[in-house]
C-alpha cells in the first residue's frame, strides 16, 4: 500500500465522504471511512469538529486529534458567534465567516440560516463588493474552478477532475461587470461564491452540489494588471471570436460533465450578457441573473407598489436611469405583464423612458445604439439629463440601474414628487456606495408616502421628529429573492431549459407573499427571515408548472387533489438543512464504501491467486513435459 499523499488523498477522501450525499435532512453522509483521520477533520464537508461522537472518534481513528470535549452543534455555534461578535468591521466579519466556510460547510451554513438578516449583508451585497475588490489580497485557498485563457482546450479535463459527480448549480462570471463596480477580472470569483452561499442557505441546495466558476479571459482594469498580487490572467480581455470560443468551450464542457446542471450567468458586461443568454438558453439549462432574476424581483416589487397605491399599469409612467442588462431585463418583464393584462404593445411601450449616460434613449440620437436599448428607444427629441427627462415624462416610477451612486439628487426627487402623490423610487445599483440614493433621502425628498426599495439593504427610517410617525421599512429589490428559488425549482423539476414563463410565475409567487402589514409599512418585499420558505414556494410553483406543461421530467404524486401542498412537500423534502449527520446514518453510509473496498480486495486476491497458480501450473506443466520431449 502507498502511504497517503496529502493532496490526492484529501480529494479521494472528500469523494468518499460526499459521493453518496443525498438531499434529505437525515441521510447526509457527512462522515465515512477515511485512511487518514486528519483528512476527515480537515475536510470542510465531512468534518463535524468537536461534535464527532465517541464512537465516531473510535471508528475514524480521531482520538488524540481532537480535545476530549464532545460538543453539540449548538455549543460550537455559541463559540463561533462569540468570535463573530468580536469582529469590528463588516469586511472582518466577511473574512471570519469565510474562514468558517473553509473549515466546516455545515457550521457556516447553520450560522447563515439562523442569522439570515444580519449575515446576508456580509456574505452578499454590500460587503461581498469589498471582498471582490480585494479578492486577490485576501485569497487564502481554492474554492471553485478558474477556467482561464491559458487552459483553453482543456476545460473538460479540468471539470472532469472535480471530485463531485453531482454538481447541480453553477454560477459563472467573467468578472467584466461585478455589481456596479465594473471590471474586476478574476476577483469577480467572490460574487459567484456569494451567490452560491445563498443557493445553499436560502434554497437548501447541498454545498457539495454547487460550483462557482470564473471564466478568466483577462481584464481591462489597469490597476489590477499592475497589481503584483493580482491572481488572474494578466492580459487585456479577449474579444470577438476568441472570447466566444472560450464561452463555447465552457458550455460544451459543462454539458458533457454535468448535463443536468443549471448554469447561472452572473455579472457579464452588457455587450456579452444578452448575446450569451440568447445563444445558449435553448440548449443549456441556464438563465442570466442580472437580466431575468432582477427583472423578476423588480416586477414583483412594482406589483406590490401598485397594491399600495391602488393603481394599475395604465396609471404609470416609468423612468429607468441606466439602460444596461438589468434595466432592459426589467423593462421586458414589465412590458410582458402589461400586455398580459390587456394593453397593446405600443400603448405599453409608450410607458417607458430609458436614460443612459447620453440622456434619453431615443431614435433621434445620432450614432449607433446597442440593440438591447433600441427596443425601448422613444421617438421623442433628445433630452440630455435625467432631470429633464423626469420633468418631461412626469414619472410615477423611477428606477435606478446606473451604477452611479447618488444620481437621484434632491432636485430630481423633488421634481418627481411635485408631479406625483406617491413616488415609487427603486435605487437598485449595488453595493450601497452605488445606490442612486439612500432610503432616508428618498423619504425626505419624496415625502412620507414614497415607496422605496434598493438593491442593497437599508435600515428602517423613522418618520417625523423622533420617529413619532412610526417607521418606513425599505424593501430590498435584489435578485436574491428569486434566483435561489428558480434554481431549486429548475433542478427539482428536471427542466431542460428555463422559459420566460418561469420568471413570470416566480414574480407572481413572490408578489403574493408580501403581507398586508408589510405593505402598510410601504414595504414591497417580504421579510428575508422567510427566504427559505419563499424559495420553496417559488420552486414548488415551477415544478407544478413544469409537470402541468410537460416540461418537467419528474412526476409528483398529488394524490388526486389539486396538489399545491404536494408540490411544496416534494420540494421541501429536497432542501438540505445544515446539520451534522446522525451517527447511525454515518455508520450506515460508511458501510457502503467499506463493503466496496472489501469486495475489491477479495477480487484482487482472487485474480492474484489465479494468475500465480496458473503460472505455477504452467511452469510445472512445461517442466513436467520437458523431460519427455
Contacting positions for Mg ion (CB under 5 A): 267, 290
Nearer CB in complex with ligand OAA: 16/476: 476
Binding mask 311-350 for ligand OAA (x = CB under 6 A): ----------------------------------------
Collapsed DSSP state (helix, strand, coil) of residue 140: coil
Residues 107-166 that bind ligand OAA (CB under 6 A): 125
List the one residue from 290, 332, 356, 436 that touches ligand OAA (CB under 6 A). Answer: 290
> With CB cut-offs between 5 and 8 Å by kind, which of Mg ion, ligand OAA, none does residue 423 bind?
none
Kindly name the residue from 84, 94, 108, 124 that is annotated as catalytic. Answer: 124
The nearest distance, CB 455 to ligand OAA, in angstroms, is 6
Q: Measured between alpha carbons, how far is residue 11 from residues 4, 7, 17, 592 in Å?
A: 11, 7, 10, 18
The nearest distance, CB 125 to ligand OAA, in angstroms, is 3
The nearest distance, CB 434 to ligand OAA, in angstroms, is 8
Query: Do the annotations mark residue 177 as ligand-binding?
Result: yes
Nearer CB in complex with ligand OAA: 120/361: 120
In 10 A of CB 225, how many CB atoms?
16
Which residues, in sequence order, are bridge partners of residue 330? none
When CB distances to ligand OAA are compared, the closest residue is 125
Binding footprint of ligand OAA, residue count (CB under 6 A): 9
The nearest distance, CB 268 to ligand OAA, in angstroms, is 10
Opening angle at CA 274, ends 273 and 279, nearest 5: 105
Nearer CB in complex with Mg ion: 272/378: 272
C-beta separation of 192 from 268 below 8 A: no
The nearest distance, CB 459 to ligand OAA, in angstroms, is 17
130/434 Cα distance (integer angstroms) = 12
Nearer CB in complex with ligand OAA: 430/492: 430
Binding mask 450-489 for ligand OAA (x = CB under 6 A): -----x----------------------xx----------
CB within 8 Å of 99: residues ≥ 6 apart: 140
CB within 8 Å of 487: residues ≥ 6 apart: 169, 199, 203, 205, 262, 264
Closest CA to 482 of 531, 549, 543, 540: 531
List the one residue from 43, 233, 289, 356 that touches ligand OAA (CB under 6 A). Answer: 289
> With CB cut-offs between 5 and 8 Å by kind, which of ligand OAA, Mg ion, none does residue 362 bind?
none
Binding mask 399-438 for ligand OAA (x = CB under 6 A): -------------------------------x--------
607/601 Cα distance (integer angstroms) = 10
542/203 Cα distance (integer angstroms) = 14
The nearest distance, CB 129 to ligand OAA, in angstroms, is 8
The nearest distance, CB 305 to ligand OAA, in angstroms, is 19
Query: Do the annotations mark residue 478 as ligand-binding?
Result: yes
Binding mask 264-283 for ligand OAA (x = CB under 6 A): ---x----------------
> With CB cut-offs between 5 and 8 Å by kind, which of Mg ion, ligand OAA, none does residue 232 bind?
none
Nearer CB in complex with ligand OAA: 193/361: 193
Kindly name the residue from 48, 195, 373, 566 that is annotated as catalytic. Answer: 195
Nearer CB in complex with ligand OAA: 29/116: 116
For 168-229, give the secondary structure using H, E and C: CEEEEECCCCCCCCCCCHHHHHHHHHHHHHHHHHHHCCCHHHEEEEEEECCCCCHHHHHCCC
The nearest distance, CB 430 to ligand OAA, in angstroms, is 4
C-beta separation of 242 from 164 below 8 A: no
Residues 229-268 that bind ligand OAA (CB under 6 A): 267
C-beta separation of 202 from 476 below 8 A: no
> With CB cut-offs between 5 and 8 Å by kind, which of Mg ion, ligand OAA, none does residue 430 bind?
ligand OAA
Concerning whether 65 is annotated as a catalytic residue, the answer is no
CB within 8 Å of 370: residues ≥ 6 apart: 270, 271
358/361 Cα distance (integer angstroms) = 8
Q: Measured between alpha carbons, how far is residue 502 from residues 205, 247, 484, 509 in Å?
A: 19, 25, 13, 10
Sheet-wide strand order for 475-476: 359-360, 352-356, 318-321, 397-400, 424-427, 451-454, 475-476
Give the helix/strand (H/E) hosting 401: none
CB within 8 Å of 225: residues ≥ 6 apart: 219, 234, 235, 236
> With CB cut-offs between 5 and 8 Å by kind, which of ligand OAA, Mg ion, none does residue 455 bind?
ligand OAA
169/402 Cα distance (integer angstroms) = 29
The nearest distance, CB 326 to ligand OAA, in angstroms, is 7
Q: At residue 299, what are phi and psi to the nearest 5 degrees? A: -55, -45
C-alpha cell at 542: 415551477
Nearer CB in complex with ligand OAA: 456/492: 456
Nearer CB in complex with Mg ion: 266/441: 266
Residue 179 engages ligand OAA in binding (rule: CB under 6 A): yes
Residues 584-623 that bind ligand OAA (CB under 6 A): none
> With CB cut-offs between 5 and 8 Å by kind, which of ligand OAA, Mg ion, none does residue 296 bind?
none
The angle that helices 294-309 and 500-512 make with each other, rounded to 10 degrees, is 40
Nearer CB in complex with ligand OAA: 304/431: 431
133/325 Cα distance (integer angstroms) = 22
Residue 13 engages ligand OAA in binding (rule: CB under 6 A): no
In 10 A of CB 69, how many CB atoms?
7
Torsion of the alpha carbons at 302, 307, 313 and 314, rounded to the nearest 10: -150
Query: Do the annotations mark residue 430 as ligand-binding?
Result: yes
Nearer CB in complex with ligand OAA: 295/455: 455
Concerning whether 566 is annotated as a catalytic residue, the answer is no
C-beta separation of 583 from 505 below 8 A: no
The nearest distance, CB 127 to ligand OAA, in angstroms, is 11
> With CB cut-offs between 5 and 8 Å by kind, which of Mg ion, ligand OAA, none does residue 535 bind?
none
Binding-site members are 177, 266-267, 290, 430, 478
Binding-site residues from annotation for (S)-malate: 177, 430, 478
Residue ranges for the known binding site for a divalent metal cation are 266-267, 290
Judged by the rule CB under 6 A, the positions of this chain that interact with ligand OAA are 125, 179, 267, 289-290, 430, 455, 478-479
Q: Which residues are catalytic?
A: 124, 195
Amino acid at each position: 500500500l502507498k502511504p497517503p499523499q496529502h493532496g490526492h488523498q484529501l480529494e479521494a477522501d472528500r469523494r468518499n465522504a460526499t459521493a453518496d450525499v443525498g438531499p434529505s435532512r437525515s441521510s447526509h453522509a457527512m462522515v465515512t471511512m477515511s485512511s487518514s483521520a486528519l483528512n476527515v477533520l480537515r475536510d470542510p464537508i465531512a468534518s463535524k469538529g468537536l461534535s464527532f461522537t465517541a464512537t465516531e472518534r473510535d471508528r475514524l481513528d480521531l482520538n488524540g486529534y481532537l480535545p476530549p470535549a464532545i460538543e453539540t452543534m449548538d455549543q460550537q455555534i455559541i463559540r463561533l458567534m462569540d468570535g463573530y461578535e468580536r469582529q469590528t468591521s463588516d469586511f472582518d466579519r466577511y473574512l471570519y465567516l469565510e474562514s468558517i466556510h473553509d473549515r466546516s460547510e455545515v457550521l457556516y451554513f447553520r450560522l447563515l440560516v439562523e442569522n439570515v438578516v444580519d449575515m446576508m449583508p456580509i456574505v452578499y451585497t454590500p460587503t461581498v463588493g469589498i471582498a471582490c475588490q480585494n479578492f486577490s489580497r485576501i485569497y487564502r485557498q481554492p474554492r471553485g474552478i478558474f477556467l482561464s485563457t491559458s487552459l483553453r482546450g482543456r476545460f473538460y479535463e479540468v471539470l472532469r477532475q472535480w471530485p463531485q459527480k453531482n454538481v447541480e448549480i453553477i454560477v459563472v462570471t467573467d468578472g467584466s461587470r461585478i455589481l456596479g463596480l465594473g471590471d474586476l477580472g478574476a476577483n469577480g470569483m467572490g460574487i459567484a461564491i456569494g451567490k452560491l452561499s445563498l443557493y445553499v442557505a436560502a434554497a437548501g441546495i447541498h454545498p457539495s452540489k454547487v460550483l462557482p466558476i470564473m471564466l478568466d479571459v483577462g481584464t481591462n482594469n489597469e490597476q489590477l494588471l499592475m497589481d503584483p498580487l493580482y491572481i488572474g490572467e494578466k492580459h487585456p480581455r479577449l474579444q470577438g471570436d476568441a472570447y466566444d470560443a472560450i464561452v463555447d468551450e465552457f458550455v460544451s464542457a459543462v454539458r458533457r460533465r454535468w448535463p443536468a446542471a443549471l448554469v447561472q450567468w452572473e455579472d457579464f458586461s452588457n455587450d456579452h450578457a444578452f448575446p450569451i443568454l440568447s445563444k445558449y438558453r435553448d440548449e443549456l439549462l441556464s438563465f442570466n441573473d442580472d437580466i431575468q432574476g432582477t427583472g423578476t424581483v423588480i416586477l414583483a416589487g412594482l406589483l406590490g407598489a401598485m397594491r399600495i397605491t391602488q393603481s394599475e399599469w395604465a396609471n404609470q409612467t416609468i423612468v429607468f436611469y441606466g439602460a444596461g442588462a438589468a434595466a432592459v431585463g426589467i423593462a421586458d418583464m414589465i412590458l410582458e405583464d402589461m400586455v398580459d393584462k390587456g394593453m397593446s404593445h405600443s400603448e405599453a411601450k409608450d410607458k417607458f423612458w430609458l436614460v443612459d449616460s447620453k440622456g434619453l434613449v431615443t431614435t433621434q440620437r445620432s450614432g449607433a445604439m446597442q440593440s438591447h436599448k433600441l427596443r425601448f428607444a422613444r421617438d421623442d427629441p433628445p433630452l440630455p439629463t435625467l432631470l429633464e427627462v423626469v420633468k418631461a415624462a412626469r414619472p410615477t416610477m423611477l428606477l435606478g440601474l446606473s451604477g452611479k451612486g447618488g444620481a437621484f439628487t434632491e432636485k430630481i426627487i423633488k421634481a418627481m414628487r411635485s408631479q406625483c402623490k406617491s413616488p415609487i423610487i427603486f435605487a437598485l445599483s449595488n453595493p450601497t456606495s452605488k445606490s442612486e440614493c439612500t432610503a432616508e433621502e428618498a423619504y425626505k425628498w419624496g415625502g412620507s408616502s414614497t415607496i422605496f426599495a434598493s438593491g442593497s439593504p437599508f435600515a428602517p427610517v423613522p418618520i417625523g421628529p423622533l420617529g413619532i410617525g412610526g417607521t418606513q421599512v425599505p424593501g430590498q429589490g435584489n435578485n436574491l429573492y428569486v434566483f435561489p428559488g428558480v434554481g431549486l425549482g429548475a433542478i427539482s423539476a428536471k427542466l431542460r431549459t428555463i422559459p420566460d414563463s418561469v420568471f413570470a410565475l416566480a414574480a407572481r409567487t413572490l408578489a403574493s407573499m408580501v403581507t398586508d402589514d408589510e405593505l402598510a409599512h410601504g414595504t414591497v418585499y417580504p421579510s428575508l427571515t422567510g427566504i427559505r420558505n419563499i424559495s420553496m414556494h417559488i420552486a414548488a410553483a415551477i415544478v407544478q408548472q413544469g409537470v402541468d406543461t410537460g416540461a418537467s421530467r419528474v412526476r409528483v404524486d398529488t394524490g388526486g387533489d389539486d396538489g399545491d401542498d404536494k408540490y411544496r412537500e416534494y420540494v421541501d423534502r429536497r432542501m438540505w438543512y445544515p446539520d451534522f449527520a446522525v451517527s447511525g446514518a454515518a455508520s450506515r453510509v460508511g458501510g457502503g464504501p467499506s463493503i466496496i473496498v472489501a469486495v475489491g480486495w477479495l477480487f484482487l486476491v482472487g485474480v492474484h491467486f489465479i494468475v500465480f497458480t496458473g503460472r505455477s501450473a504452467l511452469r510445472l506443466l512445461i517442466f513436467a513435459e520437458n523431460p519427455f520431449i
